[in-house]
Structures are given as structure tokens and as C-alpha cells.
Amino acid sequence: MLKKIISTTLLFYSIVTFSQELTGRELLDKAIEYHDPNGNWATFNGTLNVTMTIPNKPNRDSEIKIDLPKEYFYVKATRGENTTEYTVNKESCEIAFNGVKNPSEAILKEHKLSCDRGNLYKNYYTYLYGLPMKLKDQGTKIHEKVEKKKFKGKEYLVLKVTYDESVGKDTWYFYFNPKTYAMEVYQFFKETKDSGEYILLSDLETINEIKLPKTRAWYYNKNDGYLGTDTLKK
């Protein structure tokens, strides 16, 4: 009996010690192993269908095609009566509005359409749906100290991430389930303390054998104000 108690105590101690000694990079590796166990993100070629729900505004339905090996990105977004399409193929960019390719300067200006915005969408969608794998990208600084924090009543292992100045100035925190290492929350702050947002992730959709968050609900850090929800559909 004493031997069994000692063995159980040693096992518990080893689990606690492992948790305490887990480095930032080790935590990231475990999270990637959970979300992308076969390393498929690097060669991702697939379609994401996303509905964005925003208070007091029509939904925005987006069809997003990403082919990372070919450096190809396409998004077709419909809100109300208008449909916008961006195609970014390596260095080239094409814009269409309500089915009309190369719309006039007046249309571009009225609806704030530009290749800069097309590239912004490309970076936005490939970053957020590529997490946590995208944290391996060059210019990403993984802080080695892993913290234990309670957020919205749940315990998490928290990874702090900053970036080279050429990549971005925001400070990000990624919250992982301490048992499965699933990513369940992320949060970013700008230069001022009460700035930025947090995003609650729920449910999973498996696409190309990658576990992607199905629902992302966005809130302000400052006052918990609700911004909207993205829902991923196959």
C-alpha cells in the first residue's frame, strides 16, 4: 500500500513539474500536434466557407480558397445586395464587384476596394485559420515562460507572442487547454493597456485533417463589448 501511495505521489509530482517546466516552444509544438497532427498546413489547399454575424448589420458570407504551395488566395464575400471578389495570385491581384471585373475608379472608391485590401484579407484569413501553426513563421517571437491563467472561469496554459517590428507591433496571448493543448482563446493588445480584443473559440471543424475553430466570437478587451462572430462551415 505504501509503495502504491509513493508511486502515485511521484506520478502527480512529475505531472506538476512537467507543467511548470513546459517552455513556450514545447507548448506550441504540443498545440500544433493537436490541431495539425500530420503537418498538413504547410501544403494547405482547400476552401473555407465563413459566415460573419455582426450586431445590427447584414451577415457577410465568404467563400475563401487558399492554396499555399501556389501562393493563391481568393475570397468572394456577399453582404446584402453586393458581392466583392479578390484574387491574389502570387504578386498579381484582381478585383470584381457584383460580377464585373476591373470595376471603375468610382466604384473602387465608393466601396473602398483595392489590392491592398485584397492582400489584407489574404493575410487575415491565412493567419487566423492557420493558427497555431502560423506561430512558426519567421519574425514571430515565442516567449519561453508559460503562464497558468484563469480566463472566463477556465484554467489555461498561456503563451505570449510578440513580433519583429517589420511583422507587427501587437502583443498576443494564446490560451491552450492544459489537458488537450487545444487552442481555445486568443487575445491581442496594442500599445495602450486597454486596447485590443479577445476571441473565444468553440467547437471544431476538420478540414484537410486540420482541426480548425468552427466558431470565433470577438470582444473588446476594454469593456467586453461584443463585436461579432465568425462561423466556419464545410
CB-side neighbour CA atoms (13 Å) of 50: 23
* Cα dihedral across residues 102, 103, 106, 112: positive or negative: negative
Q: What percent of the chain has pLDDT over 70?
A: 91
DSSP 81: T
DSSP 19: H
Single-letter residue type at 57: K
- The pLDDT, as a whole number, for residue 20 is 55
Residue 107 has pLDDT above 50, yes or no: yes
- The pLDDT, as a whole number, for residue 93 is 97
Q: Find the mean pLDDT for residues 164-175.
A: 93
Q: Where are the domains of the chain?
A: 23-41+134-234, 45-129
DSSP line for 137-169: STTEEE-SB-EEEEETTEEEEEEEEEE-TTT--
Q: Find the mean pLDDT for residues 15-23.
A: 60
SS3 94: strand
Residue 5 has pLDDT above 60, yes or no: no
Residue 7 has pLDDT above 50, yes or no: no
Q: Cβ distance 143 to 166 under 8 Å?
A: no
The residues, ordered by sequence, that sit 6+ positions from 154 with a Cβ below 8 Å of its Cβ are 184
Write the pLDDT tens digit of every residue in 183-227: 999 999 998 777 899 999 999 999 999 999 999 999 999 999 999
Q: Find the mean pLDDT for residues 119-137.
A: 97
